[in-house]
Amino acid sequence: MDDTNSLIEQRKAKLAALRDKGIDPFKNKFTPSEACKSARDNYTEGREVAVAGRITAHRDMGKSMFIDVRDQSGRIQVYAQRNVIGDEQWNIFIHLDLADFIGVKGTLFTTKTGEISIKLASFTILAKALRPPPAKWHGLEDTEIRYRQRYLDLIGNPDVKEVFLKRSAIVHEIRAFFHSRGYVEVETPAMQAIPGGAAAQPFKTFHNALGCDFYLRIALELYHKRLLVGGIDKLFEIGKNFRNEGLSRRHNPEFTMLEAYQAFGDYETMMETVESLIKHIAHAVRNNEAEPLKIPRGVKEQLASAMQSALDLIEDMQQQAEKNKNEEVNFLKNEQNQAAYQQYKEKTHPCVTELKKLQEALHTPGEDPFTIAPRAAELAQNARVAIFVFHTHSAKTRGLSGDQLSMEVCKFIEETINRMDRTIENLNRCAVKEIDLSKWERRRYKDLVRERVAQKTFGCVSDWFALSAEKRRSLAIEELKLGGDIAAGYEDFEVTGAVFEKLVEPTLIQPTFVTHLPKELVPLAKLSPDDPTTVEVFECCINGQEIAPGYTEQNDPIAQRTTLEHQAGGEQQKLDEDFLVALEHGMPPAGGIGIGIDRLCMMLLGQESIRDVILFPQLKPK
Domain identity same for 161 and 274: yes
Average pLDDT, the chain: 91
CATH number at residue 175: 3.30.930.10
Domain identity same for 14 and 34: yes
* pLDDT for 365: 85
58: phi then psi, degrees, rounded to nearest 5: -145, 145
Q: How many distinct structural domains can be found in the chain?
A: 3
CATH number at residue 25: 2.40.50.140
Mean pLDDT of 114-123: 97
Encoded amino acid at 104, one letter:
V
* pLDDT for 430: 95
Give the model's confidence band at 2: pLDDT under 50 very low, under 70 low, under 90 confident, else very high. Answer: low
> For residue 102, what are the domain limits?
2-133
**Residue 198 within a domain:** yes
* pLDDT for 259: 98
Percent of the chain with pLDDT over 70: 93
* Residue ending a domain, choose from 399, 430, 461: 430
**Residue 204 within a domain:** yes
**Residue 113 within a domain:** yes
Cβ contacts of 356 within 8 Å, gap of 6 or more: 311
Domain identity same for 214 and 155: yes
Considering only residues 235 and 146, tell me which one the structure prediction assigns the higher pLDDT.
Answer: 235
CA 359/CA 352 separation, integer angstroms = 11
Cβ contacts of 176 within 8 Å, gap of 6 or more: 284
pLDDT digits (tens, 9 = 90+) for 176-190: 999 999 999 999 999
Host H or E run for residue 160: helix 158-180
Q: By C-alpha distance, which of 451, 380, 458 is closest to 416?
A: 380
pLDDT digits (tens, 9 = 90+) for 204-243: 999 999 999 999 999 999 999 999 999 999 999 999 999 9
* Residue ending a domain, choose from 396, 430, 464: 430
Q: By C-alpha distance, which of 364, 301, 177, 366 is closest to 610?
A: 301
Lowest mean pLDDT among 65-79, 374-388, 428-442, 564-578: 564-578
* pLDDT higher than threshold 80 for residue 571: no
Domain identity same for 155 and 258: yes
* Residue ending a domain, choose from 430, 455, 489: 430
**Residue 462 within a domain:** no
Give the model's confidence band at 167: pLDDT under 50 very low, under 70 low, under 90 confident, else very high. Answer: very high
Q: Is the dihedral of CA 555, 559, 565, 568 positive or negative?
A: negative
Helix %, strand %, coil % of the chain (to 5): 50, 20, 30
Domain identity same for 208 and 268: yes
* pLDDT for 93: 94
Domain identity same for 161 and 282: yes
* pLDDT for 318: 85
Domain identity same for 237 and 314: no
* pLDDT for 397: 66
Cβ contacts of 45 within 8 Å, gap of 6 or more: 108, 109, 110
Q: Is the dihedral of CA 605, 609, 611, 612 positive or negative?
A: negative
Domain identity same for 306 and 290: no
**Residue 393 within a domain:** yes
* pLDDT for 198: 85
Domain identity same for 285 and 314: no
DSSP-assigned states of every residue in 359-387: HHHHTSTT--HHHHHHHHHHHHHHHHHHH
Q: Which of 110-119, 143-152, 189-198 has the highest mean pLDDT?
A: 110-119
Domain identity same for 304 and 265: no
* pLDDT higher than threshold 70 for residue 325: no
Considering only residues 197 and 439, tell me which one the structure prediction assigns the higher pLDDT.
Answer: 439
* pLDDT for 328: 61
Domain identity same for 195 and 59: no
Mean pLDDT of 92-112: 95
Domain identity same for 218 and 244: yes
Q: By C-alpha distance, which of 509, 550, 583, 503 is closest to 299?
A: 509
* pLDDT higher than threshold 90 for residue 95: no
**Residue 543 within a domain:** no
pLDDT digits (tens, 9 = 90+) for 263-309: 999 999 999 999 999 999 999 999 888 899 999 999 999 999 999 99
* pLDDT higher than threshold 90 for residue 337: no
CA 108/CA 76 separation, integer angstroms = 10
